[in-house]
Amino acid sequence: MDDTRPVEERFPRRRLARSTAIVSLATALSRALGLVREMVTAYYFGVRGPINAFTVAFQIPNLVRIVISDAALSAAFVPVFSELLEKGDRRRAWRVASTVLWLLLLVLGGVTALFVLVAPLVVPAVIAEYDDLAVTLAQLLFPIVVLLGVSGIVVAILNSYDHFTVPALTPVAWNLVIIAGLVLGVPRVEATETKLYLYAAVIVLGTLVQVLLPFPWLRGRDDRLRVVVDWRDPAVRRVFVLMLPVTLSLGLINLNQVIGTFVAARWIDATIAPTAIDKAFRLYMLPQGMFSVAIATVLFPSLARLAARADVDGFRRTVGRGLRQIAFLLVPASVASAVLAEPIVRVIYERGEFEPDQTPVVAAALAAFSLGLTFNGAMLLLNRAFFGLQQARTPTLVAGANLVLNTALYGAFYRVGAWGVPLAISLANVAGAAALLWLLRRRIGSIELRETAAAVARIAVAAAGSGAVMYAIAVGVEASLGRGLVAQLATVAAALAAGAASYVALCRVLGVRELQALLSLRRRGG
């Protein structure tokens, strides 16, 4: 009998590749603009001086945003909402979404008001230098938590309907607003503190624009968001019950970075270390956002549906495919960012207030971050796998143990300088990914580990070969052209082009299947 299902259902590998490609391209655009935003901020503020007050001030609202308004909400909401849709109870699904939205606004509004009041007590304990400036900046920035709570619900609904492109593009508007605000506003202001206040204000404005953009794409779905608070619905309670451990888990994961910033501000060098680590982190997150975030975003609704259907075999295959694709994309990215750290930092940041003596500090931090790039991507997918199973307790326990390990590693490595903080984070990522993989295998059985290990080994060999090529090209071009901006741009471009070509060639020789999936997507005009 003919199979009349859509091609995406009959060929999940094609569906994964196509959806991931769309989200990756959308995310690549927003990440590219994010890079432009970081270049603009580096030009105006550098990484030494009062900008470190902004970096510290942004950590606390950003942590709350990540664990409540963004990832935790999505991880708890999507499985419940998708399960109601899968069962055909669509009107109830939208009623649950409306209730969660309004309850979340009440909670986050209260958290924001409380933080604004206690900021003068909390922030100075973190950074002794520039403490008054950091307090005011933190108070200005905290309302983004409420705004992104709304955005989290809208994005989660669209993702549950397998609509990923518009949510992935909304950060484009966020970046454009910030870039325009800085370029138009900063040159008209004299005092450094006022420039930083302007920076905080345009971030809030950009967040408002980001929140409002996806709303038109909710039209034409099964129902709409309403003003309703049906807190007695068991599904509503299940969302918040799931959110609690997920919030704790993701909070522990992201608290590692926040503690790292505090260690840098208190025990390394408050005048440069926090922002130098942050600038390196932004570069580190570029491939992370383009690849692993895209793959995890595309797979999460599918994992939630497979778990709801009790399709364990499909769940295992999906996780295995996701891990191999993450390795295929992130292992060479990790090698490239480590080998080319200094020329990349020079090309991206070294101009204006970002002076040459700041480059080695940021480059060393970037190279240290690169060690954990692939493992961080794997952790993102494995956490989503547990969330799809509605078993958030396991990643919570792993995150707690990881936090203890990470803090101990900070104590061991902070003496080496700013790069000791990202090195500690990378080593903790390796341990966290291994623990999650082992625990998931115990929960659902084999996750195609033998196939995945063989694929990762071939990928690592190909990436190592491409790294050697990139290093040789970079040394040769730099020796010929020097370290000026144009010369460094030529160095990075030539090394990346040669590295990419050699990686593809080696993957062909070694028979890496993930390359074939991308090539087949290209042949179909994807």
pLDDT tens-digit profile, the chain (526 residues)? 444 444 344 445 555 556 666 666 777 788 788 889 999 999 999 999 999 999 999 987 877 776 665 566 777 788 888 888 888 888 899 999 999 999 989 988 998 999 999 989 888 877 777 878 999 999 999 999 899 888 888 888 888 887 777 887 888 899 999 999 999 999 999 899 999 999 999 999 999 999 999 988 888 788 888 888 887 888 898 888 878 776 776 667 677 888 898 899 888 998 999 999 999 998 998 888 778 877 887 788 889 889 988 899 999 999 999 999 999 999 999 999 999 999 999 999 999 999 999 999 999 999 999 999 999 999 999 988 998 888 878 888 898 899 999 999 999 999 999 999 999 999 999 999 999 999 999 998 878 888 999 999 999 999 999 999 999 999 999 999 888 888 999 999 999 999 999 999 999 999 898 887 665 545 444 4
Residue 364 lies in a domain: yes
**C-alpha dist (Å) from residue 333 to 15, 201, 338, 374, 459:** 24, 34, 9, 9, 11
What is the total count of domains within the chain? 1
Report CA dihedral (38, 40, 41, 43) to the nearest 10 degrees.
Answer: 120
H helices within 186-233, ranges in order? Answer: 192-212
Q: Which two tokens stand for residue 504?
A: 């593809």
Residue 7 lies in a domain: no
Half-sphere exposure of 402 (CA within 13 A, CB side): 30
The Cα 108–Cα 106 span in angstroms is 6
Q: Which two tokens stand for residue 361?
A: 């500090």
The three-point CA angle 135-349-468 to 5° equals: 125
pTM (predicted TM-score): 0.81
The Cα 270–Cα 209 span in angstroms is 33
Beta carbons within 10 angstroms of residue 411's beta carbon: 13
Residue 383 lies in a domain: yes
Residue 177 lies in a domain: yes
Residue 269 lies in a domain: yes
Identity of the amino acid at 358:
Q
Report CA dihedral (312, 167, 514, 466) to the nearest 10 degrees.
Answer: -140
For residue 13, the model assigns a pLDDT of: 55
Residue 11 lies in a domain: no
For residue 409, the model assigns a pLDDT of: 96
Residue 6 lies in a domain: no
The three-point CA angle 121-126-128 to 5° equals: 90
Counted residue by residue, the chain has a size of: 526
The Cα 362–Cα 281 span in angstroms is 9
Tell which residue, 403, 427, 127, 429, has the closest CA to residue 264.
Answer: 127
The Cα 292–Cα 331 span in angstroms is 11
Q: How far is CA 193 from the centre of its chain?
A: 29
Q: Which two tokens stand for residue 391?
A: 């078993």
What's the helix, strand, coil split of the chain in %, to 5? 85, 0, 15
- State which residues form the domain around 113: 16-523
Tell which residue, 332, 286, 402, has the closest CA to residue 36.
Answer: 286
Residue 51 lies in a domain: yes
